[in-house]
Chains A and B, each alone.
Chain A
């Protein structure tokens, strides 16, 4: 970059092919080569990336532009470009605190908070428990069983819960035949949060465990020996070695989870919404869906979606920033060489 090149290909008409090759996969110290020379050198490589680039632009960046309808009065038959601008009018349901919106916001935050407090520690506890077991084989079997549900779709998980715990499900049928207390969990608005919380744990706790187990397996064994030499038992090893060693990972995951606070499983909640009603189950994502796609209020629900997206991105960026400040890698980091 800084060192001026002695053999600059002035007109770039005949670049020396040999030097091109030497430079090819960029060493850390790049000499100045004109853009077009580099383009000619790397063009073949970049050409391969084109389909991926186009798809990324089309399905990730173009929709960003579609958010302009939040500032327009969009009607499907008018079209996005022709729709008249209305400024921030569509945001009025947020600004004026539309009750349905506030309800969705409240449910989102409550569910999110519960998931952080209740769901987050479960995989960690499972990992510590599993790690303290002796048999390597037992460990592997338990692990395999526990993270299987992660690969099931939400539809299947909801279906299984309904058929096992639902009013006409396995347990309640059994309870009726044997005069046991019934379990009114599925379809009960008052117990909606415990229901979805238990579903999330059932589906993903085993999966979440993996990353903690990986962190634990990196702990230096000599530290355990040191504790043992000092006469410390297993609890002391846990307290003074394991937990401090994985603190970084725990904090990182917690921060990232906080960054996702406005997103609580859309599919899971949407699937069970008819059974419990909107009051208990409407969250921001379902609100946008019900109001926009179902109700046809495209512009105002796009406004809600936009605010949610912006706040969500800020939360993720903020969470990542905090992770950096704590000396963790975060979701993304400065690209290594």
Chain B
């Protein structure tokens, strides 16, 4: 029960009670297993980054992929960012991610706040309506038809709107809001603050962790979104980055490089550069993800 506070204390306790510490072979085996597990994650990643930075000669000599670039070059990045398909797709992905997660956090926060005080009129039916969405999915075809009827095919909104509100995120945010002491809300109300003002000046500052979790959830979701784009985005000029990765890296179709380039980097370097580009945002937010996600997921799981 009282464990979470100090992990070191837990550690010390465990040292004491470990009647017989595990023998060296046992510890070595465990260490080895975990080391291999970690290498399985790290090595592919290193190969991807290294190959994207390697020179054509090195890639040729190594048979396609390198573990470590000897003379790192950004040629591959320069050619994919010279204004072609990849450049455009990156901008599309950034746009969808920023707009999508911004709107999503706003709408989810508003809805969660509206449902954060049991006893509010219509509280139960609305909450149930939101919770039920976690149990069913209408199916791919009706979803497609809806987007089509709304005239959103080939519109960036088709990537943003359908996933704007998720029941899970509302539940998560609501759990955070409900932990804010009622007295603070009452005090604000006595001062004559409107509900919107209470949300903005009392609730949100106290729920920064929740905002971060929801924002990151959405940002990762929008950045990685693939299937909605496959379904709804017909024109290549509007493709987000994930579709470009599919076409050029998974299917291996020719990478659209500027024809005027003097030195065209090898296919592998270009492909790996595209992968790296699509990974950069994830890696940038990873430290934050790590901090907030585990907590958020556990709260969401417990309070569901």
Taken together as a complex, chains A and B put the C-alpha atoms of A301 and B140 apart, in Å, by 9
User: Which of A7-15, A38-46, A105-113 lies on the face that meets chain B?
Assistant: A38-46
Chain B residues near A288 (CB, 8 Å)? 139-141
User: Which of A96-104, A126-134, A188-196 lies on the face that meets chain B?
Assistant: A126-134
Given known contacts A35-B121, A309-B137, A142 and B38 CB-to-CB distance under 8 angstroms: yes
Interchain CB contact under 8 A, B224 and A153? yes
A24: CB under 8 A from chain B? yes
Interchain CB contact under 8 A, B129 and A53? yes
Interchain CB contact under 8 A, B136 and A313? yes
Taken together as a complex, chains A and B put the C-alpha atoms of A30 and B124 apart, in Å, by 14
Interchain CB contact under 8 A, A211 and B297? yes
Interchain CB contact under 8 A, A335 and B44? no
The tally of residues in A whose CB lies under 8 Å from a CB in B reads: 116
Interchain CB contact under 8 A, B135 and A313? yes
Taken together as a complex, chains A and B put the C-alpha atoms of A130 and B31 apart, in Å, by 9
Taken together as a complex, chains A and B put the C-alpha atoms of A66 and B162 apart, in Å, by 15
A87: CB under 8 A from chain B? no
Over the window 238-251 of chain B, the binary record of Cβ atoms lying under 8 Å from chain A Cβ atoms (1 yes, 0 no) is 00001001100111
B235: CB under 8 A from chain A? no
B4: CB under 8 A from chain A? yes
Chain A residues near B271 (CB, 8 Å)? 159, 163
Over the window 127-164 of chain A, the binary record of Cβ atoms lying under 8 Å from chain B Cβ atoms (1 yes, 0 no) is 00110111010000010111111011111101110111
Interchain CB contact under 8 A, B134 and A332? yes
Interchain CB contact under 8 A, A309 and B126? no
Chain A residues near B214 (CB, 8 Å)? none
B304: CB under 8 A from chain A? yes
Interchain CB contact under 8 A, B38 and A156? no
The smallest beta-carbon distance between A82 and chain B, in angstroms, is 13
The smallest beta-carbon distance between A325 and chain B, in angstroms, is 17
Interchain CB contact under 8 A, B161 and A225? no
- CB within 8 Å of A: which of B12-44? 13-20, 22, 30-31, 33-34, 37-38, 40-42, 44
Given known contacts A52-B114, A169-B65, A214-B298, A63 and B34 CB-to-CB distance under 8 angstroms: no
Taken together as a complex, chains A and B put the C-alpha atoms of A69 and B142 apart, in Å, by 8
Over the window 276-304 of chain B, the binary record of Cβ atoms lying under 8 Å from chain A Cβ atoms (1 yes, 0 no) is 00110010001001100010011001101
Interchain CB contact under 8 A, B17 and A25? no
Chain A, interface SS category: helix
Residue in chain A with minimal CB distance to B119: A26
B115: CB under 8 A from chain A? yes
B254: CB under 8 A from chain A? no
- CB within 8 Å of A: which of B135-180? 135-146, 148-149, 161-162, 164-165, 167, 170
Interchain CB contact under 8 A, B134 and A331? yes
Taken together as a complex, chains A and B put the C-alpha atoms of A61 and B130 apart, in Å, by 10
Taking a contact as CB atoms closer than 8 A, the residue among B10, B31, B144 that contacts A293 in the complex is: B144
Interchain CB contact under 8 A, A151 and B294? no
Interchain CB contact under 8 A, B139 and A129? no
B189: CB under 8 A from chain A? yes
Chain A residues near B186 (CB, 8 Å)? 24-25
Residue in chain A with minimal CB distance to B42: A145
Taken together as a complex, chains A and B put the C-alpha atoms of A144 and B279 apart, in Å, by 16
Taken together as a complex, chains A and B put the C-alpha atoms of A169 and B22 apart, in Å, by 40
Taking a contact as CB atoms closer than 8 A, the residue among A158, A237, A332 that contacts B131 in the complex is: A332
Taken together as a complex, chains A and B put the C-alpha atoms of A70 and B42 apart, in Å, by 47
User: Which of B103-111, B205-213, B256-264 lies on the face that meets chain A?
Assistant: B103-111
Chain B residues near A170 (CB, 8 Å)? 47, 64-65
B275: CB under 8 A from chain A? yes
The smallest beta-carbon distance between B102 and chain A, in angstroms, is 13
A92: CB under 8 A from chain B? no
Chain A residues near B110 (CB, 8 Å)? 48-49, 51-52
Taken together as a complex, chains A and B put the C-alpha atoms of A69 and B194 apart, in Å, by 45
Given known contacts A66-B145, A168-B64, A302-B142, A49 and B134 CB-to-CB distance under 8 angstroms: no
23 sample A-B contacts, Cβ–Cβ < 8 Å, listed by A number: A45-B113, A46-B126, A52-B170, A55-B107, A57-B129, A67-B138, A67-B142, A133-B31, A146-B41, A159-B245, A160-B45, A162-B249, A163-B48, A214-B294, A224-B17, A228-B18, A267-B226, A288-B140, A298-B141, A298-B145, A302-B141, A312-B136, A331-B134
Knowing that A173-B62, A298-B145 touch, tell me 15 more A-B residue pairs with CB under 8 angstroms. A48-B110, A48-B114, A52-B108, A60-B138, A66-B143, A151-B282, A154-B226, A156-B245, A159-B249, A160-B45, A163-B44, A163-B249, A227-B19, A267-B227, A305-B141
The 3 A-B residue pairs with the shortest CB-CB distance, nearest first, are A26-B119, A52-B111, A49-B114
Residues on A lying within 8 angstroms of B by beta carbon are: 21, 24-27, 30, 35, 38-39, 41-42, 44-49, 51-53, 55-67, 69, 76, 80, 126, 129-130, 132-134, 136, 142, 144-149, 151-156, 158-160, 162-164, 168-170, 173-174, 176-177, 202, 206, 210-211, 214, 217-221, 224-225, 227-228, 231-234, 237, 266-267, 270-271, 274, 285, 288-289, 292-293, 298, 301-302, 305-306, 308-309, 312-313, 316-317, 329-333, 335, 337
